[in-house]
Structure 1
Amino acid sequence: MQHFKPFTVEHRGILASIFLIFASLFLTGMAQAAPLTDEKVQSFIDTKEELRSFSDAYPGLEEASDKERDMTRPFSSVLGSLDAYPGARGELEAIVEKHGFDSVEEWAKTGDRIVMAELAINYKDMTEDNRAMMDRMMSAGNNQNVSAQALQMARQAKAQMKAIDTVPDEDIQAVRPFMKQLDPEEY
């Protein structure tokens, strides 16, 4: 009678490989962004008033941030500019934690998602004529007779439009009820 050996050396290698595959799938799934909730969107909106005071306390921060800003990640792309202002990161951390965020990075990523969802809503709600006009304006990036600043703005607009296409419907649905509370001029 032959005894069954469930875990021979060969089997251990196969089991280890299977374990690594499942572990990586599990960790990849955990790394996906959590769904935007009404509470998170409202918490982000609630930080706006305090952030006005925060910006006033650090003259030049807004201009420094604008130089680094990637309009597809309007908040997370400027976090590096905080480092030039002693105490700024800690103060911002205190503000966002008071509103339920675990970190400045979580707050910034949430803000990025909210802004992109807001832009997607605005774009989808545009009339066909307005979309065509926007497309013509963005084509300025192909024109050699426009200023470097206009070219840069056109490139950013094109990148933003590509990013809008990737906004999850769940984010759009989470942000839509808050559209009246959001002000795109503030970004």
Structure 2
Amino acid sequence: MIIKTALKLSLKLSGIILLLIYHSAALAQPPLSGDKIEGFISTLPKLEELGEKYDIEDDQEDLDSQASPDGAFSPFTSSLRTLKGHKAYNDFMAIIREAGFSSAEEWAMVGDRVMRAFISTEIKGQHSSSRAEMEEAIKDVQNNPHISTEQKQAIINNLHQSMAMMSAASNAPAEDVKAIQPYLGKLKSLSKETQ
């Protein structure tokens, strides 16, 4: 019993330490500037053209692969893994440098923050109802006698991944959400163009 209690306490302390590390890393990030947001937005149409030129497919990676080690939704950082070593990489670097970014990592970090802030703004108020709907869907799947155990598990795993992505994507820092407000119209327009 003492070992079990010590183990639980150790896990809680580890969680607190990781949380503190995450928040101190988040605090260390520079504020999103208008120049960086504009620079990032300006790259999107050019990168869309680059993707078409090189026939780069949007890999529909699973949601886990779009999360950074701290669990944050990081679609642009995850896309760097695919892009590095690709024949389009030099053209990609030219586009982002022209937009004022010194590295692919800087561009991806700004893009991830802009995207999280944008998604957070878009789903504000919808998150709790969507979560409740997904939890209800999980119950429906669990109680459905016409679905095999393996299928149930796969569906439930996908729903859990979706819930995790929604949580990660909707938890943008208030400063980032505020910084993107002047650019919401452009972001919405670009979002519709790529759908």
Query: What's the TM-score bracket when you normalise by the shorter of the two chains?
Result: 0.5 to 0.7
Decide whether the 8 Å contact of 2:66 with 2:74 is kept in 1. Answer: yes
Q: Which string of whole-angstrom CA distances, capped at 9 and with x for unpartnered residues, describes residues 75-117 of structure 1? A: 111211124632x221111100100011111111111100100
Which runs of 5 or more residues in structure 1 are unaligned? 1-27
1:47 is aligned with what amino acid? T
With over 3 angstroms needed to count, the CA separation of the structure-2 counterparts of 1:150 and 1:113, relative to structure 1, is farther
Equivalent position of 2:50 in the other structure: 54
2:120 is aligned with what amino acid? A
Which runs of 5 or more residues in structure 2 are unaligned? 1-23, 68-72
Q: How many residues align?
A: 153
With over 3 angstroms needed to count, the CA separation of the structure-2 counterparts of 1:122 and 1:29, relative to structure 1, is closer
Displacement of 1:52 in angstroms is 1.6
With over 3 angstroms needed to count, the CA separation of the structure-2 counterparts of 1:181 and 1:158, relative to structure 1, is same
Displacement of 1:152 in angstroms is 5.3
User: How many angstroms apart in 2 are the aligned matches of 1:151 and 1:96?
Assistant: 39
The answer as to 2:178 corresponding to 1:177 is no
With over 3 angstroms needed to count, the CA separation of the structure-2 counterparts of 1:54 and 1:166, relative to structure 1, is same
Structure 1 counterpart of 2:61, from 50, 59, 67 = 67
Give me the TM-score of the superposition, normalised by structure 2. 0.65
User: How many angstroms apart in 2 are the aligned matches of 1:180 and 1:91?
Assistant: 28
Equivalent position of 1:33 in the other structure: 29
SS at match of 1:112: helix
Give matches, 1:120-131, under 5 Å. 120-124=120-124, 126=125, 130-131=126-127
With over 3 angstroms needed to count, the CA separation of the structure-2 counterparts of 1:30 and 1:152, relative to structure 1, is closer
Give matches, 1:74-113, under 5 Å. 74-83=75-84, 85-86=86-87, 88-113=88-113
With over 3 angstroms needed to count, the CA separation of the structure-2 counterparts of 1:151 and 1:176, relative to structure 1, is farther
2:57 is aligned with what amino acid? E
User: How many angstroms apart in 2 are the aligned matches of 1:134 and 1:29?
Assistant: 29
Q: Which string of whole-angstrom CA distances, capped at 9 and with x for unpartnered residues, describes residues 47-71 of structure 1? A: 1221121111221x333x3226516
Decide whether the 8 Å contact of 1:44 with 1:110 is kept in 2. Answer: yes
The answer as to 2:172 corresponding to 1:167 is yes
Decide whether the 8 Å contact of 1:116 with 1:167 is kept in 2. Answer: yes
With over 3 angstroms needed to count, the CA separation of the structure-2 counterparts of 1:83 and 1:37, relative to structure 1, is closer
- 4+ aligned runs moved over 6 Å, structure 1: 28-31, 146-149
1:67 is aligned with what amino acid? E
Displacement of 1:37 in angstroms is 0.9
Q: Which string of whole-angstrom CA distances, capped at 9 and with x for unpartnered residues, describes residues 2-39 of structure 1? A: xxxxxxxxxxxxxxxxxxxxxxxxxx779922110111
